[in-house]
Structure 1
Amino acid sequence: MVAGLETVLGTEQYWALMLSLSVIPALTQYLVLPFCPESPRYLLINQGEESKAEAALLRLRGSSDKVFSELEEMKEEAAHSQSGVTIHQFFKKRRYKQPIIIVLIINLGSQLSGFNAIINYSTRMFQAKFDQAKYLTLGVGAVNVIFTLVAFFLMEKAGRRRLLLTGFISIAVCNLLMTIVDSVLHLVPELRSLQVLLVFCLISAYELGPGPISWFIAAELFDQPGRPIAMAFTSMLNWGGKFVLALLFPPLLKLCGEYIYLFFMAVALAAFSFTWIRLPETKGRTFDDIAEEFRGAEGIPLHNNIGFNTFT
Structure 2
Amino acid sequence: MGLIDGHCEEKTNFSSLHWQDKITEPLIQHGKIFATETAESHGNNKGSIWVVLLSTFVAVCGSFEFGSCVGYSGPTQAGIRNDLGLSLSEYSVFGSILNIGAMIGALTSGHIADFIGRKGAMRISAVFCIAAWLAIYFSKGALSLDIGRFSMGYGIGILSYVVPVFIAEITPKNLRGGLTTVNQLMICIGTSVAFIVGTVVNWRTLALTGLIPCFILLLGLFFIPESPRWLAKIGKKEEFEVALRRLRGEDADIYQETAEIQDYIENLQDLPNPRIQDLFQMKYARSLIVGVGLMVFQQFGGINGFTFYASGIFVTAGFSSASVGTISWACIKIPITALGAILMDKSGRRPLLMISATGTCLGCFLTGISFYMKGHELLMEWVPILALSGILVYIGSFSIGMGAVPWIIMSEIFPINIKGTAGSLVTMVNWFGAWVVSYTFNYLMSWSSQGTFFLFAGVSAATVLFVAKIVPETKGRTLEEIQTTMNY
TM range (shorter): 0.7 to 0.9
Cα deviation, 1:80-106, whole Å, max 9, x if unaligned, reads 213663333532432212111111110
| Equivalent pair of 1:73/1:286 in contact (CA under 8 Å) | no
Q: For the Cα contact (< 8 Å) 2:314–2:384, is it kept in 1?
A: no
**Amino acid across the alignment from 2:314:** F
Partner of 2:424: 232
Question: Is this contact kept in 1: 2:362–2:393, CA < 8 A?
Answer: no
Give the distance between the partners of 1:202 and 1:288, measured in 2 at CA. 35
Matches within 5 A, 1:136-215: 136-185=325-374, 186-188=377-379, 189-215=381-407
What is the distance in 2 between the residues matched to 1:142 and 1:60? 35
Q: Is the 8 A contact 2:276 2:421 kept in 1?
A: no
Deviation at 1:209, TM superposition (A): 1.1
Give the Cα separation in 1 of the matches to 2:333 and 2:250. 33
CA distance in 1, matches of 2:252, 2:399: 32
Which residue is 2:197 aligned to? 3
Percent identity of the aligned residues? 26
Whole-angstrom distance in 2 between the partners of 1:143 and 1:90: 42
Question: In the alignment, what sits opposite 2:178?
Answer: none
Deviation at 1:287, TM superposition (A): 4.0
Residues 246/64 of structure 1: CA separation in 2 closer, same or farther (3 Å cut)? farther
Deviations 1:116-161 (A, max 9, x none): 1111000111123223313522332332222221111111111112
Query: How far is 1:283 from its partner?
Result: 1.3
Instruction: Give the whole-Å Cα distance in 2 for the aligned partners of 1:66 and 1:138.
Output: 49
Match of 1:27 among 201, 215, 233: 215
Aligned to 2:114: none
The verdict on how the C-alpha distance between 1:142 and 1:77 changes in structure 2, with shifts beyond 3 A counting, is farther
TM-score (norm 2): 0.55
- The answer to whether the aligner puts 1:105 opposite 2:297 as a matched pair is no
- 1:43 alignment counterpart: 231
The alignment of Structure 1 onto Structure 2 pairs a total of residues equal to 289
Question: What are the within-5 Å matches in structure 2 for residues 242-253 of structure 1?
Answer: 242-253=434-445
2:256 paired with 1:256: no
Taking structure 1 as reference, are residues 96 and 183 closer, same or farther at Cα in structure 2, changes over 3 Å only?
Answer: same
CA 1:35–1:95: 2 relative to 1, 3 Å: same
Shift of 1:274: 1.3
AA in 1 matched with 2:421: I
Alignment gaps of 5+ in structure 2: 1-194
Matched, 1:69 2:256: yes
Unaligned runs of 5+ in 1: 296-301, 303-312
**AA aligned opposite 1:238:** N
Aligned counterparts of 1:270 and 1:151: Cα–Cα separation in 2: 22
- For the 8 Å contact 2:367–2:387, the answer to whether it is kept is yes
Partner amino acid, structure 2, of 1:175 = C
How many angstroms apart in 1 are the aligned matches of 2:291 and 2:399? 17
Contact 1:45 1:74 in 2 (8 A): no
Structure 2 counterpart SS, 1:209: helix
So what's the TM-score if we normalise by structure 1? 0.84
For 2:223, give the aligned amino acid.
F
- Aligned to 2:449, the other structure's residue is in SS state helix
Pair 1:161–1:184, CA change in 2 (3 A): same
Please state how far the C-alpha of 1:214 moved relative to its aligned partner. Answer: 1.6
Q: For residues 191 and 92 of structure 1, do their structure 2 counterparts lie closer, same or farther at Cα, with a shift above 3 Å needed?
A: closer
Conserved? CA contact 1:37–1:56, under 8 Å: yes
Structure 1 residue 21: Cα displacement: 2.1
